Every structure is written in structure tokens, then in C-alpha cells.
Structure 1
Amino acid sequence: MSYESLMQQRPGVTFSEQGEAQVLVWASKAEKVQMEFGGSAQPLDLEKGEYGFWTLETGKLLPGDRYSFLIDGQGPYPDPATLHQPDDVHGPSEAFDLQKFEWTDQDWKNPSMKDYIIYELHVGTFTDQGSLDAIRAKLDYLVQLGINAIEIMPLSQFAGNRNWGYDGVFPYSVQNSYGGPAALQRLVNACHAKGIAVVLDMVYNHLGPEGNILGTFGHYFTDKYHTPWGDAINFDDQWSDAVRHYFLQNTLMWFRDFHIDGLRLDAVHAIKDFGPKHILREIRESVDALSQETGREHYLIVEMDLNDTRFVDPIEKNGYGMHAQWIDEFHHALRVSSGQERSGYYSDFDGVVALAKSFRDAYVFDGIYSEHRKRKFGMKADGIPGHQFIVFSQNHDHVGNRMLGERTSQLVSFEMQKLLAGAVFISPFVPLLFMGEEWSETNPFQYFVSHTDPELAEAVRKGRKSEFAAFHLEGEAPDPVAAETFENSKIQWNLPDQEPHQSMFRYYQKWIALRKTEPVLKECDRTGLSVEVFEENKLIIVQRVWEQQHLVAFLNFSKSSQNASLPSEHSAWQKLIASSDPIWNGSQELSERLDEGALTVPAESITVYTNIINS
């Protein structure tokens, strides 16, 4: 098979329509590659092709069979492109036929990015069962809330049963303790039937430590660059063509064979690629080609610690063409505005001033000096539409990377929680919720792993304690290896039936409905937005205009009421929502004199009015 043909084939085991297994392995370091399965005493030899690829066609390997590889007589090793590891990272792979599933989502259409209401969840802690199948039982709840897109934290196989997912070592696999690849296909099909898109969190910047065997097969890593997690993945060094092929085909597999609607690519600033075409741009081009073929639209969303528009600029402007990015800076400014600590990377953010800037400019640091970094940082995001930015008041990172993993519900008042949520929904950006925040979940979300290597587990335990050594007055860092840490992080499904959690749920439900029905909120338009900030009063006034609708929001982050005025150019202002209202279990009533345009905004509250502009 030619080099060009090999680069068009998905690595691992695929099955033809006649049921014959076609095996493709990249093992550039090997002199001999063999495959063993079915308990046979004699392994099968793979044929060496161009550029370190090895191939085999056999009718003996069937779906459900366990198999592994021998590299120069050493092993056995799992398949680098395994779809299923039923016995954890160290066991054999299981052959899985992706084409056998009977999809019923032929009429499914991925919502526009601007219409996404994203709900981030972790499979293991979202339900008591901690499985993909168990999520299906919660889909009606998500529909009732108003969610139309779930974002699932990484599913790639990791060691043990408990992990955030960022220690995965087989990017093509679906975690065995979550149910494996068949369970993911069932979930996606069920989500589409309920009108919910599925975004999968993928890690293309590193692989986890335990069970990481890719380097045994080929030159998957390079020592030219280093990441916080070790050697970087080889996207631009010698032998990098096959590595790029591995990740390109991985992207296409999720979209084509699992009907995933979007990928959230973790920490892309740690992807080191100085070749003539960045791997992200090549991924976007490949996804566009797939969409042309299938007629289905798929999104690429990035998390990055860079305020660099090159990532989201379109390809025709020499960008990488990512559809959207997370905006951590909006979160940081929001957190500081709520009165939380200004330590570490939060030290750069001066509360409501920074938040007002993020409302206007998306990036807070857009070429200005950062004291935390000791240099100028970022660039202007002018002209980039709001739907390319995703904002949140909580996510897995900024909860779980705290020493005790406290959620916002444990850090600020009930009233402030409602204000933070309103700030997200009033923005001209795409909103994201973290599981349980909609009912003010009280359980923490802590960092947990279940490495089976005792030395590695102890190293993680010691590292976590060392990281928070300066915080000993706040207590001990939870043991990340303990099962209790994982169990403590599960959300409590009994809470929405109790107050004040029920009121918070209805409040979120109302905001989501407003995002879907009010044109000025539905459109992620940045051009019709203006922001005033009153630093001493900790008050922000956001105005948004879309066509004939004018909206004004008063965000009071102070602990006392603040006087404000509605714009005088229109009459007949109507209150859209006020977090302080008794219906939302508010603590104080809004005082308003609409005939004079005056109102008193209660402490720690958001109040929103709307009006129709007469033409």
C-alpha cells in the first residue's frame, strides 16, 4: 500500500463490509511487528510498508476478540489506536466494529454555535452509577433545564476507574469503566433524539503517565519541546507526518463514527508545532472536507492560555480556523468582582474594571502589561464575533484546582451566585455551565486519580500536598488517590427538590429561556454593546442593542444598594429579570420609579430591563 493510501486509512483495526479485519500500525522503531489474539500460540506477522507503517488483513480477528502486538518480540502491548481496553490500560485491546451501530439521528442538525447553551459534565461524578448509559436517564432533566449541548470531560482510557480524564493514554478509546465505545454511540444517538449536541473534550497536547506505550512503537514524542507533563507530542520533528496522521484521523473518527458534534481541545498552547501548517489548521481543513462529504457541521473549540486571535481567525486570514475558544479571563475578572481572593493568576484582575473590559473586548489583556507575567500580553480581539468566545462562572479547572475543590456555592452568598450566573448570560458570548451549578451544588469537585502503579500514585499524592503546602492553615489537601475524594465530588440529585436549590434551578431555567427567546440575548453581537463601570460602587451597567430591541443590565457587586438610572431616550421600560425578586428566593426587593427612570439596585444582584426602539 502506498504512503498516500496509508495516510487515508484510520490506524488500528477496522472491518470491511465483508467482515475482514484491516490492521494498520505505525511502528517506526520496530524491525518486526506481530499480532496475537484468540489464544493462538502462533502470532501473525504484519507486513512492513512505507514510512514505518505495518499492515495486516485477516479474516481470523472478529469484533469482540482481544488482541495485542509484539514489537521485536517484546510485549504484548495494546494497540496504540485501540477503541476499547476492557481490562484497563495494561491489558489487551478489544476489536470493535464502529459500523455496526444502527443510528437513528439522520435528521439531526447541529445547532449554530451562537445558540449553544453548554453543560460541562464529568461522567464519573455526574451520576451515582458514573457511566455513559446513566447519563441517558438524565437527558430529560437537561432538556427541562434548557440545555442543548453537553461537553463531556475526556473519555480516553486512563489507569484505574477514577480520573478527571486528562491522564488518558489511548486517544482513540472510550474509558472501560464508563461503558466503552458502544455506550458512547448510544449516548450520542439518544442526545440527538432529545435535541442535545455532544462536545467531547480531547487532549492533543500530551498523554498521561501510566500505560503510555506509544513511544515504544514510534516517534510519537519529541525532546525538542517540553510541556508541564513531559516531552511534547511530535507534530513538527522527524517522523511527524505519521503522528499528525494519527491525530487527524482521531478527530475525523469522533465526528464520522461517533457522530460527535464538537471537540473541545485542551490546552492548545502546549501543542508545539512550528511547521509551515499548524496541526490545528490541518485539523480544521480535514473537518471541513468531512462536512462537505456528510453535510453535517462540526465545531472545534480550544482552551488556551494565550490571547492570540490566530487560533480563531479564519483560514483565509491565515488563522487556524477554530470555531470558538474558552475565555478564562472573563471568569477570572468575574471571580475577583465577587470579592474572592486575588492570588496567583487572579492577581492581575482588578474586579469590575477588568470584568467591564472583558464584556467589551473579550480579552482583558490585549497587548497591555501583565504584572503577573512581567510583560505585555495578548492582542486585540476586534472584529471577532461573540459566538467564538465561551464564558462561564465555573468549570472543572477553576473549581477542581483549588486545594479543597470548593464550588462557588461555598465561596460566595446565594445572591452573589445569581449575579455571577446573570453576568454570564447577559454577555454577548456563548454560556457554559458546570454540572450542578444550576442548583447551587454544595459538594466539591476535587482532583482525583486511581493510578494502579503504587509509585506513581504516591508521587501524585506528594505532588498535590506540596502544591498547596502554603495553604496548611486551610486544612489538608484531599488525597487524590482515595476513593473518598472521588465519591465526595459526585453531585447530589436530591438537592433540586429542596430550597434554596430549587429556586436556583428555576432561576437558571429562566435565564436559559431568555437567551433563547430574547433577540438581543440570542444574538452574540458585540457591536451593539456598551459598558459603564463605577469602580467605587462596584457597579457595572451593560447595554445591548439588536435591531429594535434595547436591553440594559445593572450588575451590583457591592454589599450595599446602589442608585442607578435607566436610559432616558426610551420610555416604557419593562423588567426582564431581577435576581433579588422573591420568586428567586431574593433577599431584598428592587426599588424602582420607572416614571423618573430611577431605581435602587439591591446588593449583590443583577437587574435587567428591555425596551423596543421606535423606528
Structure 2
Amino acid sequence: MNARQFGPSLADYGTRFRLWAPAAKRVDVMLERPHAMNRGEDGWFTADIAGVRAGARYKFRIDDDIDVPDPASEFQPDDVFGPSEVIDHNAFSWRAAGWRGRPWHEAVIVEAHVGTFTKEGTYRAMIDRLDHLVATGITALELMPLADFAGSRNWGYDGVLWYAPDSAYGRPDDLKTLIDEAHLRGLMVMLDVVYNHFGPEGNHLGRYAPSFFTDAHTPWGSAIDYRVSQVRAFAIENAVHWLRDYRFDGLRLDAVNSIVEPGGLSLLHDISAAAGRFAAETGRQIHLVLENGDNRASILDPVQDPPQGKYRAQWNDDYHHAWRVMITGEKQGYYVDYQRAPRSDIARALSSGFVYQGEPSEFRRGKRGEPSGHLAPTAFINFLQNHDQIGNRALGDRLEGSADARMIEAALQILLIAPHIPMLFMGEEWGSTAPFPFFCDFGGDLADAVRKGRRVELAWAYAEYGDEVPDALAASTRDSAVLDWDGRDTSAGRKRLTMVQELLHVRRHEIVPRLVGSSFGKADAADNGLLTADWRMGDGTTLRLLANLSEKSVSHSQAVGTPIWGNELGNSVPPWSVHWRIG
């Protein structure tokens, strides 16, 4: 029988149903007829029902008042308000049965949204594009959240049934087939999970388990109370569920600085420890990474294997923000923290990880971060674009719309060879111009509230762009975000894709074999635009970067080492050119 606390457990006789409903007096399992559940200790209700097999659909009736889906439902064929379906995860025949993963230092990530990666917007349709990722040099596909959300389209961060992959993209076996096909091609697959809040529509926990929540609030709703043991188990079991039942190779935990947990970071430790135990038991390589605006270097360790409380790496927003300011001159919001010297900020990120390592942040109105230079470079996932940095813009426009192609190409030539972990957003490899605006599919008063809230939050954009700002609730907004695969076949698309493939070829042959044991070195950004940096690689060699991030040629001292990228240099470095040497 399944050992986890939450969700249905299949057995020889049928199925055991369990629900933690401490505020309920009576709970029935609604199948073809109601089945009364037995109330046990600590608010648990249980029912063992003979003859119930995979495929059965059910709900829970609370106090003869309301019918709700299982909060640990494994599939919702009729969306979040419909019945839950019992799934037999052991019935799937994995073809890549011997897959154990890839080591972290080999990771080259592409972030993707299932619903817009293809026109069809399904797990199955993604399979046809996996060979493209492999040919590009990608080794890890990271999916935006899949937890079931209300409606047919959403970024995924409004999930309310954490264990159920959303039916808008296909059935559980379709998701497993996608992951299996990726593994057969040598691709890792990672999943973005959200443990800082539940979405605003379709969550009934407050009715029968109000102790799930505290009086505190996150930017997205009521805070989850992880001091409660059952609530903590719900999140920890969910993390292991994705790793075990779907064979994801890792998880990215969204905005963990918004998890309200008095006393520190024990939930993150416990999730890591549980994933580490699973990895040890199965012999699989499991990679856990974070999005954490607090820049806590102390919870990162890319070489702890298996995880024992820490995380491989963190999305490095600092790196993105500094580049964005340097090549676009943007000033709004958090970009205010990178106005003084963005080239120097890039140098700091290249030489020690975070830009903010305890310094005062004007945007956050306080000190931010911890020293990070002692960590390995692979503790940082660097990027020039991701779903947030595109989608949170008023028009959802990509970097191609606001920066010169030479600047973007120079930035890519640094991103894809430097010894951190690089990440691209889907289509970035060919310079896609498809927007990725925020979209969702709520109805009624909630839809009106979303529209009103966006008009307040983006008042400046509505004043400037008017009706050009896409309506997040309109189906056409999702349609506009579908990836423009035809863009690969334009002259500009072919040129960009060829460059990215060549860069990742260099990375695979010259950088990856030397990454284990690598460490940060020094970096400097001169006033004339010259950027230099070096790293000590695991084999004792030194990787050196020389780049001119300006519009004018600049002189330089004699370069040292064997060239691995960039044209031979004379006495000067051409504008927006990047040169890599090793030796």
C-alpha cells in the first residue's frame, strides 16, 4: 500500500481513501453512492472500499454541505471543480527504465511552458520538439508549474491541486510519456513547484482544514502554516510524488522567500532531506534548485550528493537585472538597484555569484543577501530571459524588442560558456520574438478583480500603450504567446541558432569536463567597457574571459591561453566582441 499520508492508496482489495479534515464533523466518499469515512486521530478520515480500481472518480462530501475534490487528487479530468480520478502509477511501462539522470555540472537548461511550447499546447506535442533541444545542446528541460489550476490556460502559478498535472495538457500517462521520451534522448526534465501559496480559485481547504493557513499573507494570498505537521507533510510528500511517480530529475521551488515560516528555513531543509533519501534509495541523481529573492548562499551546495538539506543552485536574478539595465537602460522597479554600475555588477556576478551579498538594497529597503564567492560557480543558474522577466512586462515582450542584436549575442557568448549553469527561455536559442504576456482563465468576479488589479499595477503602461496592453483573461493573449517555431527558418533565426549550437558545443567539450572542482576567480569592468574575468577550473587550468561591452574598440594587454571562442585579436578588442581562452 502507498505509504504516503495524502491521496488514495490502491491495494489488492480496492482503494483506501484518506482526508485530513480537522474542522469537519462528517466526511463521505462520493462514488456511485456515498461511503461514510471513519474519523480517527488528529482530524484524519479514512475509508477502505473494496472493488475500487484505477479510473474510479470520486469526491468528498463535507458535513452533508459541500462536495470537494481530493486536495491530493492525482488527476482532475474535468478541471478543479470536478471529481478526482484514482491513478495507478505502477501501471505505466517506462521505456527508459535504466535512466538514473545526469550530473548537475552537465546542465544546460531551457525553461518552457507546456501550453505555449507548441500550438497544440500538450505534453504529447512537446515530444516532437525534443530532438531540436538535443541538437541545440540543451541537456535539461524545465517545465513551468503543472499543478491543476482553474480554467484551460494559466502560467501555472495558480495551482490549487498540487498532486494533479493539469488536464488542459493531457493525462498523467501523457506527461510520463513526455518525460520518458526526454530520458531516451539523454534529456533531464525538471519541474517548477509552488509551495508559497494556493491559487485563488478552486481551493476548498479553508472550509474543512482551516489550520492549513495562518493570518499572514503573501503577495498571492493567505500564507500556508508549515508549523502544522500535516501541512508540512503535504508539501514534502508532494515533492517526492513528482520525483517518484513521474520520474522528474529535479524541482525548482518558486519564490521560497515568500514562504511564511517563523523560525527559519526548516521546510526547505526537510524537502531536500526527503528528496535525498529518495535519491539514495533509487540510485538516481536528483537536483533541487531555488528561486529566492533573499540570496541565501548558506542553503546552496551544488556538490552535496544526494541532497541532505541544501540545494544545488539558485536562479540568479542579479545577473539578469545587471545585464538588462546595461543593454536597455531600464530603471523601473527592482532595476533601480542596478543603476550605479551595471558592468561592475556583471563582473561581480561572474566573480562571486550574487551582486547583493549583504549590501543595502534600495528596492527592498534593507540589506539583502549573503556572501557567495566561496561557492562553486555551478551554484548559480544565470540567464538573460525567463518567464518572469518577459511575462511580467506590460506587453510580454522579449529582449529582442528592446536591445541591439549585437548586445544580445555578446551576452549569450558570455552566458553559455561561463562556468555557472546557463538557462534559456523557450525559443531564445533562435531569437524568438513571440511575446509571453501573463494570461489566465478565471471567470466572474475574480476575472474582474484580476483586470482591475493589473490596471492599477500597470497604470503607467496603460497610460503609454492603452489597448496594446493584452487582456490577461482573453484567450487571444495565450494564443499570442505560442512559440514561433517558424522563426528558426528565417535568416536571423538560423544565424542565432547556429551561434548558440556552436557555443554549447564549446561548452560541452571545453568547459563541462573541467567544471567539477572549479572555483571563482577575479573579474573587472573597466570604464572603457572592457570586461575581464577568470576562473580556476577543476583540472587546474584557468578559464579566461575578455569582452568589449561598448561601442568602440578598446586596447588590451596580451591574452593568455589557448583560444576556444572568438576571433584572433590584434592590439584592440572590437565592439561587442567576446573572447574565451583556457590554459
Q: 1:320 to 1:342 in 2, by over 3 A?
A: farther
Match of 1:14 among 9, 33, 36: 9
Runs of 4+ aligned structure 1 residues displaced above 4 Å come to 313-316
Q: 1:520 to 1:177 in 2, by over 3 A?
A: closer
- Check if 1:456 corresponds to 2:450: no
Structure 2 residue aligned with 1:374: 365
Deviations 1:398-447 (A, max 9, x none): 01001111101111111111112122123331111100000000111100
Q: 1:220 to 1:264 in 2, by over 3 A?
A: farther
Query: Equivalents in 2 of 1:186, 1:9: separation in Å?
Result: 24
Structure 2 residue aligned with 1:31: 25
When structure 1 is superposed on structure 2, of 243-252 and 365-374 the one drifting more is 365-374
1:518 partner SS: helix
Structure 1 residue aligned with 2:551: 559
Residue type of the alignment partner of 1:132: Y
Structure 2 residue aligned with 1:402: 393
Query: Equivalents in 2 of 1:130, 1:560: separation in Å?
Result: 45
Query: Equivalents in 1 of 2:366, 2:435: separation in Å?
Result: 35
- Check if 1:592 corresponds to 2:569: yes
Measure how far apart 1:152 and its partner are. 0.1
Query: Equivalents in 1 of 2:112, 2:128: separation in Å?
Result: 14
Structure 1 residue aligned with 2:492: 500
Match of 2:268 among 273, 280, 285: 280
Contact preservation (8 Å) 2:273, 2:309: no
Structure 2 residue aligned with 1:298: 286
Measure how far apart 1:275 and its partner are. 5.0
RMSD of Structure 2 on Structure 1 (CA):
2.2
Query: Equivalents in 1 of 2:61, 2:36: separation in Å?
Result: 9
Equivalent residue runs for 1:241-256 within 5 Å: 241-256=229-244
2:197 partner SS: coil
Measure how far apart 1:380 and its partner are. 0.5
Measure how far apart 1:14 and its partner are. 2.1
Q: 1:591 to 1:311 in 2, by over 3 A?
A: closer
Query: Equivalents in 1 of 2:138, 2:541: separation in Å?
Result: 25
Q: 1:482 to 1:80 in 2, by over 3 A?
A: same
Query: Equivalents in 2 of 1:19, 1:482: separation in Å?
Result: 47
Residue type of the alignment partner of 1:563: S
- Check if 1:96 corresponds to 2:84: no
Structure 1 residue aligned with 2:342: 351
2:82 partner SS: coil
Query: Equivalents in 2 of 1:494, 1:127: separation in Å?
Result: 11
Measure how far apart 1:19 and its partner are. 5.7
Residue type of the alignment partner of 2:207: T
1:87 partner SS: coil
2:277 partner SS: helix
Contact preservation (8 Å) 1:426, 1:521: no
Equivalent residue runs for 1:179-190 within 5 Å: 179-190=170-181
1:421 partner SS: helix
Match of 2:323 among 334, 341, 347: 334
Match of 1:577 among 562, 565, 572: 565
Deviations 1:154-204 (A, max 9, x none): 001111111100001000000001003221111111111110111000000
Measure how far apart 1:359 and its partner are. 0.8
Contact preservation (8 Å) 1:515, 1:522: no
Deviations 1:39-72 (A, max 9, x none): x3xx001111211111111123222222101011
Residue type of the alignment partner of 2:453: G
Contact preservation (8 Å) 1:219, 1:234: no
Structure 1 residues without counterparts, runs of 5 or longer: 579-589
- Check if 1:480 corresponds to 2:468: no
Contact preservation (8 Å) 1:386, 1:525: no
Contact preservation (8 Å) 1:123, 1:153: yes
Residue type of the alignment partner of 1:485: T
When structure 1 is superposed on structure 2, of 136-145 and 517-526 the one drifting more is 517-526
Structure 2 residue aligned with 1:603: 575
Measure how far apart 1:365 and its partner are. 1.2
Q: 1:525 to 1:336 in 2, by over 3 A?
A: farther
Equivalent residue runs for 1:136-535 within 5 Å: 136-236=127-227, 240-274=228-262, 278-312=266-300, 320-349=309-338, 350-451=341-442, 453-471=443-461, 472-476=463-467, 477-519=469-511, 522-523=514-515, 527=519, 529-534=521-526
Structure 1 residue aligned with 2:530: 539
Query: Equivalents in 2 of 1:169, 1:345: separation in Å?
Result: 29
Measure how far apart 1:397 and its partner are. 0.3
Query: Equivalents in 2 of 1:521, 1:470: separation in Å?
Result: 48
Residue type of the alignment partner of 1:592: L
Measure how far apart 1:132 and its partner are. 0.6
**Share of identical aligned residues, percent?**
35
Measure how far apart 1:96 and its partner are. 1.2
Measure how far apart 1:527 and its partner are. 2.9
Measure how far apart 1:73 and its partner are. 0.6
What TM-score do the two structures reach when normalised by structure 1?
Answer: 0.89
Measure how far apart 1:393 and its partner are. 0.6
Task: State the number of aligned residues.
Answer: 576
Query: Equivalents in 2 of 1:256, 1:409: separation in Å?
Result: 39
Query: Equivalents in 2 of 1:56, 1:345: separation in Å?
Result: 51
What TM-score do the two structures reach when normalised by structure 2?
Answer: 0.94
Query: Equivalents in 1 of 2:57, 2:511: separation in Å?
Result: 54
Query: Equivalents in 2 of 1:520, 1:287: separation in Å?
Result: 25
Measure how far apart 1:297 and its partner are. 2.3
Measure how far apart 1:92 and its partner are. 1.1
Measure how far apart 1:544 and its partner are. 3.1
Query: Equivalents in 2 of 1:411, 1:91: separation in Å?
Result: 44
Contact preservation (8 Å) 1:86, 1:94: yes
Measure how far apart 1:521 and its partner are. 7.8
Query: Equivalents in 1 of 2:192, 2:356: separation in Å?
Result: 26
Query: Equivalents in 1 of 2:18, 2:399: separation in Å?
Result: 47
Deviations 1:440-479 (A, max 9, x none): 001111000011x211111111211221112322444210
Query: Equivalents in 1 of 2:117, 2:435: separation in Å?
Result: 12
Query: Equivalents in 2 of 1:176, 1:97: separation in Å?
Result: 16
Query: Equivalents in 2 of 1:137, 1:306: separation in Å?
Result: 38
2:8 partner SS: strand
Q: 1:537 to 1:189 in 2, by over 3 A?
A: same
Contact preservation (8 Å) 2:377, 2:520: no
Contact preservation (8 Å) 1:114, 1:522: no
Residue type of the alignment partner of 1:492: D
Q: 1:566 to 1:524 in 2, by over 3 A?
A: farther
Residue type of the alignment partner of 2:122: S
Contact preservation (8 Å) 1:337, 1:352: yes
Structure 2 residues without counterparts, runs of 5 or longer: none
